[in-house]
Amino acid sequence: MKIAVIGVKGIPSNQGEIERYCQEFYPRIAARGHQVDLFVEPKSDRQPWFSVGYYHKVRIIALASLPRKHISFWLNSALSTIWASLGKYDVIHIHGTKAAWFAWFPQLFSESKIVVTSHQLDCDRAKRCKVFRWLLPWIERTAIENADEVVVVSKALGEYFQQKYNIRPRYIPNAPGSYAETDLQFSYGKSLGLTPKRYILYLGTLNPENKPDLLLQAFQKLEPLGWKLMIAGEIGDSMQYAIELLALAKQNQNIIFTNEIRGKHLAEIVKGAGLLVAPTDALDLGLPLALLQAMREKIPVLASDRAVHQELIGKDRGLLFESGKLDSLEQQLQYALSEPSVLTTMTQKAQTYVAINHNWDRVTYGNLSLYLKITAKICSQSIQHNA
């Protein structure tokens, strides 16, 4: 089978949900004897224009890109889709609805089957980008109308597309990415003034909808003895919000800010955390990888009661608080820190749940069976036509 993959900035990568997903998944497909051509942005993958490289038997094709981030993405998505349409692929798999704005092209000029996987609600994220706010809803509809199959990584995303477009997407859950080997001496954590299992961790972009300020306020109200709060993430679209966060911390020595952490340092910090908190109240319905990875590592988790968090945590794999409510977060945070034995039981259940439901064998089987199903239709139609 010949498969084209579109929507990836570059691999290998330590950032980007789609990039990490593809670098875990497609080498497994290629190892089974299928040809996988993955189209990337030259500037992100550090390849020359119109060049070919390899990553674990996956062919990496770099076409063209521009200096400006958003324009480069649209250009590369369009060029990759056109190129793939002329390449006689069995399947063109587009990751992210915003990368599918040229999904109509292969429908007109090729016999390839089109699969679109939605990893998050791109239309909601467009609210932070005024230029594309009006464009992404149209692109989402273009993706849905031209896809032969739509795949979602969370049940909440599936419900969204079913209600809005009256379709039944295929649910293939995500899985946590592989971590690098960690320093058993916890050297990086110690350099930040942290003690293993005695700090609360926030991982995510510093923007208002992710609500790191809510967690910061709850921590300062409780002032838990012997605990620190680590807020790790890059600054979002609002520098002013980041400045307000720093002012809210009031130079508290028990609150540590870092930029986005990657690679072995990320693995070390996650594995050493005493509690991971996801306070966001954004409408994004994608599966939160930070929670998934923490659950795999048996790290206790506390999250807002968004639909995707309820789906992942359930009633006994972690704690939930009422989204956007400081009192509720404060109460659950206090419970989490004062009842370690209860949370230990929850982490064991969480680890088992992730191992069974969110593993790469299941992701590989789900996608590969989908490829075989839709390409079998092509074969049967060809046989009928020849007869």
Supply the DSSP symbol for 41: -
Q: Is the pLDDT of residue 303 over 90?
A: yes
Per the model's pLDDT, the better-predicted residue between 281 and 48 turns out to be: 281
In this predicted model, what pLDDT tens digit does every residue of 2-31 receive, in sequence order? 999 999 988 877 667 888 899 999 999 999
CATH 3.30.1780.10 fits 187-357, yes or no: no
| Residue 386 pLDDT | 38
Query: In this structure, are strands 58-62 and 113-118 parallel, antiparallel, or unpaired?
Result: unpaired
| pTM for the whole structure | 0.88
Cβ atoms 272, 115 nearer than 8 A:
no
Closest-CA residue to 97 (of 357, 305, 285): 285
Please give the DSSP secondary-structure letter assigned to residue 206: B
- Lowest-confidence segment of 107-116, 309-318, 336-345, 373-382 by average pLDDT: 373-382
Q: Grade residue 355 by pLDDT with cuts at 50, 70 and 90.
A: very high
Residue the block writes with tokens 């003034």 = 193
Asked whether the domain spanning 187-357 has the same topology as the one spanning 2-175+359-386, the reply is yes
More confident residue, 248 or 94: 94
Distance CA 143, CA 127 (A): 19
In terms of phi and psi (left: phi > 0; alpha: psi -120 to 50; beta: otherwise), the region of 263 is: left
Q: Give the pLDDT confidence of 69-86 residue by residue, as tens digits.
A: 667 788 889 999 999 999
The tokens describing 81, both together, are 């889709």
Q: What is the pLDDT of residues 191-236, one digit of tens each?
A: 999 999 999 999 988 888 899 999 999 999 999 999 999 999 888 7
Q: What is the pLDDT of residue 328?
A: 97
Average pLDDT, the chain: 88
C-alpha neighbours within 13 Å on the C-beta side of residue 175: 20
The pair of three-digit structure tokens given for residue 233, joined into one six-digit string: 């993430």
Structural domain spans, the chain: 2-175+359-386, 187-357
- Rounded Cα distance, 34 and 31, in Å: 7
pLDDT score for 301: 97
Q: Given a cut of 90, is residue 289 above it in pLDDT?
A: no
Which structure tokens are listed for 156?
């909440």
Query: 2-175+359-386 — its CATH code?
Result: 3.40.50.2000
Residue 325 structure tokens: 């409510």
- Give the range among 30-39, 129-138, 330-339, 370-379 with minimum mean pLDDT: 129-138
* Residue 61 parent element (H or E): strand 58-62
